[in-house]
Each structure stands twice: as structure tokens, then as C-alpha cells.
Amino acid sequence: MTKPRIFYILALAADIFVFISTNTRPPLIAAAVMIIIPFLSFLCLKLFMRSLNLSCSAAQYTEAGRKIELIIEINSILPIVHAAIFMRCTVKNRLFGDTEVSQIAAEISHGARRIVIPFESEICGRVEYKIDHIRCYDLFYLFHMDTGFRFIKEIAVYPAEIELHSVFSQLSSKEQDGLSYDPFKKGNDTGEILEMRDYHKGDSVKNIHWKLSARLNKAVVREFSRPNSHNTVILCDMTLAFAGSVIEKSAVSNNISIAMSLSRGLIMQGVVHSVCMMNEDVCKMSVISDLNDHARMVNEIISMKLSKKSYNTIEAFLNLGYTDDVSKLIYITREYDSGSLRLAAQSADITVILTNSEGRTATEDNGSIKIMSLDESSLYDTEHYITV
């Protein structure tokens, strides 16, 4: 606040110059007023600061995209005529490693006893909100004094809820010895027949259905089904860079919101599943059977710290061998490697939920790989139906 001081010094110098030039009383009176009033203003500021007591409160949690308020309570023995307060605020998101510093100005007068600071985060994560510097100015912005007040508050910014409705297109037809059988996947379990088909070179003679072959006058073999525990996994891509391209933090936050909303929907349907969160520095696989598991997982996710290095999530998922026990994989991502995805589709049915910022909403079905595009601009405004 140097401008008010410069103007004050120039005005006072001009008044003194007029007094010296004219040697009259009005400039002298004006100079006296220009000295006495700022002095009284400084005295009021001094007394105000001596009796000042500040306290701050804020909500412990919120959702991404939802505003909350931080309230600074001002307590002073002296009545507040006018005060200007400038604060330096630092907001650090642990999940994405972001730090933002901002200056907030507020004027209080006529007995006002609080300052309301709006806070909103478009991305999820555990946020540290810190006020580490407060400076108070007098009425004319000529003098200032710093307070020793410090405030640190940790705010949990949870992923925003999305209206997602999931429908399973493949359900178990029977259960045998504690296992269910996938009516759409081939296997080698002789206890359950998937279909009959013509004999091909290389098929085992043991699988030939002799009675049906005699009736049809051609060799027919049994195609057995694969035991399937319906191990459904939601794979959430949390990488911030892929193939040399930077992935926006808002896109990763949207991926997390989709994964959490989808997981909650599966719980409501009674579907036990796993959620895998992957980044170059993070690999967290959690079995979700109820809402308590879901809440614990969300708190673990927002407390993570993501790497900004380039990472191929689906390739890493394959290399870790997770696809061996997965029958249904729901992959939520902004970018993906089609080669690795085709490899994963050899052992699991895959639904890719692909977010984009171009307004595209479409569904592609390539056999064992289904791709559903979701437009980020309408992600939280409309209902979405996903078939897996």
C-alpha cells in the first residue's frame, strides 16, 4: 500500500509549499489537520491491534466443486470503526501436489465481527488451508501492523457423486461347488457345457459328443464353460501423464469420482468387487463389500500423493498379473494403450469408461471390449447408464 503514502506525502509537501509561498493561515491549518488526523488514525490502529483477538473455523470436509466458508471471528475490546485486513492464504492439495498462494483483502467497519472467505476446490484430495500472514491497515492506509495469528486447517475434499446406473450384461447361470459359471466365456471345466460346435482340427477327441455327432452325421464337440467367481474390478487410472501428454488434474479427479460412484452403485446392487487405483507411485487394490469398505477406501485415496511421471496403467495392471483372477474389468481413464487393452481382453471382459472434454458421448462394442465415452461438461448434471 505505497500509493496512499505517496499521495499523502505529495499533498503535505504541496500544502507546506503553499504556506511558505503565501505565509497565510489556511495552509498552516490544513497542514496541522493532515498531520494530526493520520496520527490519531495510527493511534486507533495501535489500540485496536493491542486488543485484537482472531479465531477461524471451517468445515472438515466438502465435495469437489462445492463451496464452503472459512469464517474469521474478530474480537476486540474497542469498537471497530474501520479496518482493512490483508491475508496471505496458502492452499496445498496433497493428492495432486498442488500449492496455490493468494492474497485476500477485507474491510470491516460499523461493528462487523467476522470475515467470510469462500473456498472451493474443483479437484478432490486432502487439502491443507493455511493463513500465515495477516496485516491490518488504518483508515487512510498510511500505517499497518502485522498480527501473529496463524491458522492451519485440513479439509477433506471428497470426489463428487455422479448419477451412474450400472447394468450387468453377463450373469452367472448356475453355481456348482461354490463356483458360478460364465455363460459367455469359454473354458475347460467339464462340469459345465457352454455350447456345441463343429469339430476343428486340434480339438480333443474326448470332447466329441458321439451321440449328437451320429445323429447329425458330422463331428460335434462340447465347448466347456469357464468357472467364474464374477471377480469384478474397477481400475481407476490416476496417471497425470501418458505417452508424453499431460493429463489434466481435473480429468484424474473425474476418473476418481466415476470410480467411487460406480463402486457405490455396485454395493447397492449387492455386488462384491475390487477397486484398483493406479499411478506411477500408487497401486492400491481394495475389496469392497459394504459402505464401510467404500468409505475407508475413499479416505485412503484422497490421502495419497500422486506422481507426475508418465505411466501406462493398463500395461502395469497386466504386468502385475491382476488380470489372472479378473472376469470383469471396468477401466476408467482419459487415455489408454490399445495394445495392452487387447491383451487384457484375452482373460477378462473389459468395459472402458473414457472421459473427454470434446462433448463426445458414444458407446462402442468390440466383443470383449466395450468403450463408453462420457463428456466431462455434463458428467455431474445428467444420469449415466453403463452396461458391463
Interval 173-195 mean pLDDT: 44
Range of lowest pLDDT (172-176, 194-198, 302-306, 309-313)? 172-176
Percent of the chain with pLDDT over 70: 86
pLDDT tens column, 231-284 = 889 999 999 999 888 999 999 999 999 999 999 999 988 888 999 998 888 888
Residue in the structure block whose three cell numbers are 505505497: 2
Give pLDDT, residue 110. 64
Give pLDDT, residue 210. 86
Percentage helix, strand, coil for the chain under 3-state DSSP, each rounded to 5: 30, 40, 30
CA–CA gap between residue 319 and residue 234 (Å, rounded)? 17
CA–CA gap between residue 336 and residue 312 (Å, rounded)? 7
CA–CA gap between residue 5 and residue 22 (Å, rounded)? 26
Cα–Cα distances in Å, from 54 out to 15, 76, 148, 203? Answer: 40, 9, 10, 81
Phi, psi of 13, deg, nearest 5: -65, -40
Give pLDDT, residue 119. 92
pLDDT tens column, 81-90 = 667 889 999 9
Cα–Cα distances in Å, from 319 out to 144, 304, 314, 316? Answer: 61, 22, 9, 5
Phi, psi of 179, deg, nearest 5: -110, 145
AA letter at 287:
V
Would you state the torsion angle of the CA atoms of residues 53, 58, 60, 61, taken in this order, to the nearest 10 degrees? Answer: -160
Distance of CA 185 to the CA centre of its chain: 36
Task: Give the DSSP per-residue string, 198-262.
Answer: E--TT--GGGB-HHHHHHHTS-EEEEEEEEE---EEEEEE--SEETTEEPPHHHHHHHHHHHHHH
Quick check: pTM over 0.85? no
pLDDT tens column, 86-130 = 999 999 999 999 999 999 988 877 666 788 899 999 999 999 999
DSSP 87: E
The CATH code of domain 1-158 reads 2.60.40.1930
Taking Cα atoms as reference points, which of 236, 252, 229 lies closest to residue 327? 229
Phi, psi of 385, deg, nearest 5: -115, 125
Range of lowest pLDDT (38-52, 58-72, 224-238, 341-355)? 224-238
DSSP 327: S
For the chain, what are the domain ranges? 1-158, 164-169+230-387, 178-228
Give pLDDT, residue 360. 67
| CATH fold group of domain 164-169+230-387 | Rossmann fold (3.40.50)
CB atoms under 10 Å from CB of 310, counted, come to 15
Q: Do domains 1-158 and 164-169+230-387 have the same CATH topology?
A: no
Residue 363 has pLDDT above 60, yes or no: yes
pLDDT tens column, 250-263 = 999 999 999 999 99
